[in-house]
């Protein structure tokens, strides 16, 4: 049990450093993501553990009592490409694990509240979710899951992503 506490505290320290860097000024949040395999204690996490590890880390981030004002923090998951434009009926942990990209680990991101309002609340599609995501994050109230897909002519497939917010 003490080992889990120490790991959680080390993850928390990594997250605090990232938050400070990502929010040091009004423009620093752009292109300032933190992939879960960049967190010191999670460098060896395997692909089949990415989703649950990322949700757990997002939950730790949301426990922080003093996240900076003017920003919203969220989890971004790249999904495997698809030949069809499919929109999930319900996003669950199992669905994410079945569809997670083969190469890109999930990442924590932040955006200005203005950008969130102008882009994330407009472009992606809001999806229903079951309790499995909230159970790992540790919070259900305000949980929002968005799905985005677009056709990439170069790749000749649909590119898909999921964004998880707590608003």
Read off the pLDDT of residues 48-107 as tens digits, 9 standing for 90 and up: 999 999 999 999 999 998 899 989 999 999 999 999 998 999 999 999 999 999 999 999
Taking the C-alpha atoms of residue 67 and residue 96, their distance in angstroms, rounded to an integer, is 27
Q: Which of 47, 146, 162 is nearest to 102 (CA)?
A: 47
Q: Could you tell me the pTM of the whole model? A: 0.92
């Amino acid at each position: 049990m003490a080992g889990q506490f120490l790991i959680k505290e080390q993850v928390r320290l990594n997250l605090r450093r990232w938050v400070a860097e990502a929010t040091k000024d009004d423009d620093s949040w752009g292109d300032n993501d933190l992939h879960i395999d960049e967190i010191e204690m999670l460098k060896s996490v395997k692909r089949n553990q990415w989703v649950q590890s990322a949700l757990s880390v997002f939950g730790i981030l949301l426990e922080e009592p003093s996240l900076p004002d003017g920003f919203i923090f969220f989890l971004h998951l790249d999904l495997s490409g698809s030949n069809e434009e499919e929109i999930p009926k319900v996003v669950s942990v199992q669905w994410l694990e079945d569809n997670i990209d083969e190469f890109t680990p999930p990442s924590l991101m932040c955006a200005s509240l203005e950008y969130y309002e102008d882009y994330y609340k407009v472009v992606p599609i809001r999806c229903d979710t079951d309790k499995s995501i909230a159970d790992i994050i540790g919070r259900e109230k305000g949980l929002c899951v968005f799905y985005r897909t677009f056709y990439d002519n170069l790749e000749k497939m649909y590119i898909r992503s999921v964004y998880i917010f707590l608003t």
